[in-house]
Structure 1
Amino acid sequence: MAANLLTRALGALELLAQNGRGLGLQVIADTVDMPKSGAHRLLAELTRLDYVVQDPDSGQYRLTGKLPSLGMRHLAGTGIIGASQPLLDRLARYSSELVRLAVVDGDRLIFIAKSQGARTGLRYDPESGGEAPLFCTATAFTWLSGFSDDEAIRLIAAQGAMDPENRGPRAPCNFAQVLQQLSETRERGYGRAIDMSSPGMSAIAAAVTAESGSQVLGILSIGGPTARLTEDKMNEFAPELLETAAELSSLPALERYLSPLGRCAR
């Protein structure tokens, strides 16, 4: 019973993390499969612990800053941010675009650090903490290219239905198109996505590996507006991207913390 309640409590927190504007009691109860009365008691306890707050006007529940703060303190304690940030900042200055580091966490890619190099014009600057879609991003293509096609499909399917209509005009619409991107990534040596994850946005990405090279620990990317991050610019930035990814691969803090979280290609 206690384990089941813990599962539902964590499910409620994950649900609220995906809905920043908050959700009503009934929606939360239905999603975590609890009676409305039980969900109310659960949310009351999370509110007492300061992880959740209820809007007095709408009655909706949303997360407080306690959980994100906990995560950031944890990352700071691992040494990953402090060790990697100077390299991200250097690559951002070089490219004048957004540089991000995603880490492999089981079957997911989570963005944990970034550096904004664009100082004028249109800027692409999403918040850290998000999960990379596996069917339409340069970050995902880079990671998935290390797996067999069957395993790559399994990982994409496990994330949920592909939703190309809510992505860029060139987002893959089926597994065959994704597999073509993976084949091109293997041949090229780094991932590339043009007008796929979002309309008018493009990116290139390279793998950060354990020193042995046998395990991908994370993915380093450069992203920006397609009008500015052209194919010529991608070709120009690629050597610096790959060199920076190799430097990140040599940082002991990354391998020490990330190796147990990742999964080896097979």
Structure 2
Amino acid sequence: MRIVNSLVERCFAVIELLATEASAMRLGEIAERLDLQKSAAHRMLNTLSEKGWVEQVPETGFYKLTLRLAILGQRFLSATHLTDVCQPVIEELAAESGELVRMAVVQSETLTWIIQVQGARNGLKYQPEMVARVRLATTANGKAYLSRLDPTDAIRIAISDSARDGERRSIVVVEEFMEELKLTLNRGWAISREEVEIGVVAIAAAIDRGGQTVGTVSVAGPSSRVTAERHEEIASSVMSTAAKLGELWPLRQRYNNEN
């Protein structure tokens, strides 16, 4: 539960909650999750509905986001040319590894998935649930990102992120997690061994743009294929891809052109 105060904060809190759940929610649950009075939540939802951000399901009376937010997000990505430039590089890694490859971008103190390419052609295929936000404490992408931060900030962000949705694993021993992040930073890649989903292993590296972490890229697949013997090989390919993406990163080019 988190407390929101101003009108603007409440609007964004409602939108973020509905975007995270990606499903219709009843008024009472929204009010409870955001620590709002039902009357205040109802007024907020009515306002968002009038503006086209939220809609009410006639059969149930529950509330859900419209596609307006998704459309605006696609417009923004199109304007930055991010997916256009990065997609071929992601596809190349997917073909080389024969596994699922995903790329995430840094947004404030979070990671958001934006590209996913399935490289597996036969046998088991890892197809994760389609959610936008990357869990930070348990995923390889999250650990790759956190390893590039100041340790104090990394722990604070990881704990806060885990608390948002009651993540299965919590950081019980901070010292051990810090050691894992230190190891990740030193070798240049992170690994998640069945921490998010049983039977799935992922390896990720941070994408650097001029000394700043702008995103992450990862390879993930069944533990029967992403075995310990393949970890170094996959990690090398992931780091190489991360370096290519850092060189091509279109947001840097756009910024340079405008300045």
Pairwise same-fold verdict (TM > 0.5): yes
1:36 offset after TM fit, Å?
2.4
Is 1:218 aligned to residue 219 of structure 2?
no
Structure 1 match to 2:228: 231
Structure 2 match to 1:184: 183
The worse-fitting range, judged by mean Cα deviation, of 20-29 and 76-85 is 20-29
> Which of 15, 18, 21 is residue 17 of structure 2 equivalent to?
15
> CA 1:103 to 1:135, structure 2 compared with 1: closer, same or farther past 3 Å?
same
Measured in 2, the distance between the counterparts of 1:257 and 1:28 equals: 39
> CA 1:21 to 1:219, structure 2 compared with 1: closer, same or farther past 3 Å?
same
> Which of 30, 37, 40 is residue 39 of structure 2 equivalent to?
37
**Unmatched segments (≥5 aa) in structure 2:** none
Measured in 2, the distance between the counterparts of 1:176 and 1:148 equals: 14
Is 1:80 aligned to residue 48 of structure 2?
no
Structure 2 match to 1:264: none
Structure 2 match to 1:123: 125
The worse-fitting range, judged by mean Cα deviation, of 149-158 and 28-37 is 28-37
Aligned length: 252
Is 1:250 aligned to residue 250 of structure 2?
no
> Which of 65, 68, 72 is residue 66 of structure 1 equivalent to?
68
> CA 1:151 to 1:29, structure 2 compared with 1: closer, same or farther past 3 Å?
closer
Amino acid at match of 2:105: V
The TM-score with structure 1 as length reference comes to 0.85
Percent identical: 36
1:158 offset after TM fit, Å?
2.8
Amino acid at match of 1:22: A
1:258 offset after TM fit, Å?
9.1
**Unmatched segments (≥5 aa) in structure 1:** 260-266
Secondary structure in structure 2 of the residue aligned to 1:104: strand
Query: What CA deviation, in whole Å up to 9, does each residue of 1:122-145 have, x standing for no partner?
Result: 322336662222211111221222
> CA 1:98 to 1:26, structure 2 compared with 1: closer, same or farther past 3 Å?
same
1:257 offset after TM fit, Å?
6.6
Measured in 1, the distance between the counterparts of 2:36 and 2:102 equals: 38
Structure 1 match to 2:194: 195
Amino acid at match of 1:104: V
Which aligned pairs between 1:73-152 and structure 2 lie closer than 5 A? 73-126=75-128, 130-152=132-154
> CA 1:48 to 1:119, structure 2 compared with 1: closer, same or farther past 3 Å?
farther
Measured in 2, the distance between the counterparts of 1:21 and 1:163 equals: 15
Root-mean-square deviation (Å) = 2.5
Secondary structure in structure 2 of the residue aligned to 1:166: coil
> CA 1:172 to 1:45, structure 2 compared with 1: closer, same or farther past 3 Å?
closer
The TM-score with structure 2 as length reference comes to 0.87
1:256 offset after TM fit, Å?
4.8
